[in-house]
Every structure is written in C-alpha cells, then in structure tokens.
Structure 1
C-alpha cells in the first residue's frame, strides 16, 4: 500500500516484483545446475549424466518455478493479505503434488496427473531422452504466462 502511494504505476510495481522473482528463480535454477555439475565432475553420480541433459533439467525446473510464480502472483493480486495469498499458492501447489502422487499410485485416478503441474516436470524423462520435453516446457510456460497476465489485469483493476 505504501509503495502504491508513490508516483509509480501499478504495472511498474508488479513488473518490478515479477522481474525480481524471475531473476531469483534463474539464480536458483543455475545453482541447482552448478551443484549437480560439480557433483558429476567429482564423481558422485555414476553413470554421469551429460551436461546438456543437466541444462535441460534446469530449464524444466525453471519452467516449473515460473508456473508456480505465475499463480502465486495471481493470488497475491486477488487478495491484499500476504498470509492468504501464500496459503492459497502453497495449498494449490500441494494439491498439484498430491494429484500427481495419487495418479501415479492408482490407475483409476491416473487422469488427475494431466491436471498437475508436476506431471510436466520430468527430469528422469530428460535423462532418458523422452520426446515430451518440449510439450512439458510449453505447458509450464503457458500456465505461468497466462496466470501472470491475469495477475497484471487483476492488479490494475483491484481496489487497494
């Protein structure tokens, strides 16, 4: 609320938050890649995956983070209470996780996996050269982009 009382647009406020979050997610994905690459170089992983596969896994991880950030920003734009928006984003992420988990365990519930963002994060598939990697990236980035666009629309119209 204090920031919005200054002479900046709502787009600038939310845009700066989004850019900072994306930078942080990029740094986190790079750190995961670096740690794994160091582990591979030191011989902790056998057989050692190639660095191209590790890079693709990190890109897939960034796409997963981007999707979570997208709906987190949307929830944040819908409510003015930090705790509520965090609870909504965390709860939705947990629901997605359990949808994937239950879908993997129970054949009759396997349709649930399609609706979980965790279905589209598949590091093992990347290592095994599965052909669905591009589809997974597109799904995660579309979810993130659509929900981020929704956050910008809602935040512009919301009464503070």
Structure 2
C-alpha cells in the first residue's frame, strides 16, 4: 500500500527529471557528429584553455575526437550531477513530508509497523532511481546512434552506468537519513542539495589545484570520475567500499532512528 502510494505520488517528478536529463543527453550527443568534423578547431580551442580547467573536466586525459571521450567530458556530468540532485530531493522528502503534512500519525494507525513504513518508502526510492538510470542508459544508447562510428566499449559504458547509480544511491541514503531524523522538509532539501553541490565543488577545485589535491577524497564525484573509469576501464575498489559503507550506515541509522522517533513532536 505505502510502496504503491509513493510510486504514484512521485511519478510526475520522476517523469519530469528523467525527461530533462534524457533530453539533455540526447541533445548533447546529437552535436557530436558536427564536433567530430571540426576536430582541428575543437582541439585548438581545448588547447587554449588553462591547464587547471582541462584537468578539472578530464580534458587532459580524454579527447573530444572519440565518442566515449566526448561522453565523459560533456555528457557524463548531466546524469551524475543532475541525477544526484534528483536523488537527494526524492529521498530527502519521502519520510519528512509525512510529518510536514501531518499524516504520519494516520499512517502509523494502519496495521503496519514502523519498519514496514520506512522500508517501503526506501524501496520506492530505489525503484525510482532504477527507473531514472534506465532512462539515462536508453537516452545515451539512442544518442550514440547519431555518431557515424561508435568506439564506446560496452564494458566501459556499463562501468559508467554503475558508477552513476552508486553515486545516486549514496546521496539518496544520506538524504534518506536526514528525512528520517529531521522534520522540516525545507531544511532537509536545502541540506541535501548543499551536500551534493559541495561534493561537486570539492571535486572541481581539488582537480584545479595541486595544493588542494588531498580534498578530492572527500568528494563522491571523484570516486566516479569519468576520466579515471575510461582510461583504466575500472572503478577503484576502495571507492566502491566507501560508498557502499556509507549507504549501509546511513540506512541502518535511518531505520534505527525512525523506530525510536517520537512522532507526536
């Protein structure tokens, strides 16, 4: 009951966000054939950029002359950053809105346990993220068809897809914990978005300055860096362990807190 209700309630936002991200991916990939025909001009433009900027966006290791390089430089940011914002908003509101709308007491008066309530809400979040990432993959595959030749390795593209989903799930788990612990949805939304944007900011500035290179380890965006994944054809196992650990800790804490939470306050 709760799961179905959350799927229906969040269907419209899911379609809007999926449409925006999918549309941006398609439009950006549609430009690739023209970019490929003007490689000398594009290459000269990239060479004219500051080294710090090229390093920040992976242009020092990836080339715009290949489809996978173009995807890593220009397209990958859309599903990772914009998708993470959606994941944070979705998970940040899904529990707290019951308190904000004064429906939590009514919901718990039904023959369901608190574990079932929060469990079904979490399941709705995961299903929404799976749908979002499926649409992202379909949009990318459709966009690849604009290219006359494709050098995208299925294995590499799968790694980029898994990395994107892991990133979404990581931010969603943090926002889900905030949603279970806090009551004001406005505070949760702003905090969740702040975490996503701050993490991205750390990744950019750490790449632009050698003096700040150490702080890249505090950015989840560094963990799923497109240039690293494409050039090494893999995701660093220690980063996967960190993200999985954060997801488990945040979700376990969220369940524990919600179980003891005084809903009358």
* TM-score (structure 1 length as normaliser): 0.89
**Cα separation, 1, equivalents of 2:164 and 2:185:** 25
**How far 1:113 sits from its partner (Å)?**
1.0
Q: Which residue of 1 aligns with 2:152?
A: 49
**Cα separation, 2, equivalents of 1:43 and 1:4:** 51
Q: Size of the alignment, in residue pairs?
A: 159
Q: Which residue of 1 aligns with 2:232?
A: 129
Q: Which residue of 2 aligns with 1:22?
A: 126
Contact 1:37 1:54 in 2 (8 A): no
**Cα separation, 2, equivalents of 1:109 and 1:45:** 41
> Are residues 124 and 47 of structure 1, via their aligned partners in 2, closer, same or farther at CA, if it must alter by over 3 Å?
farther
Q: Which residue of 1 aligns with 2:141?
A: 37
Does residue 7 (structure 1) correspond to residue 111 (structure 2)? The answer is yes
- Bigger radius of gyration: 2
**Cα separation, 2, equivalents of 1:50 and 1:116:** 27
> Are residues 58 and 39 of structure 1, via their aligned partners in 2, closer, same or farther at CA, if it must alter by over 3 Å?
same
Pick from 61, 64, 68 the counterpart of residue 167 of structure 2: 64
- More divergent stretch after superposition (10-19 vs 30-39): 30-39
**Cα separation, 2, equivalents of 1:78 and 1:148:** 11
Secondary structure of 1:8's match? coil
Pick from 205, 211, 226 the counterpart of residue 108 of structure 1: 211
Q: Which residue of 1 aligns with 2:179?
A: 76
**Cα separation, 1, equivalents of 2:224 and 2:148:** 21
> Are residues 147 and 116 of structure 1, via their aligned partners in 2, closer, same or farther at CA, if it must alter by over 3 Å?
same
Cα RMSD of the aligned pairs, angstroms, is 1.8
* TM-score (structure 2 length as normaliser): 0.56
Contact 2:156 2:233 in 1 (8 A): no
**Cα separation, 2, equivalents of 1:5 and 1:94:** 38
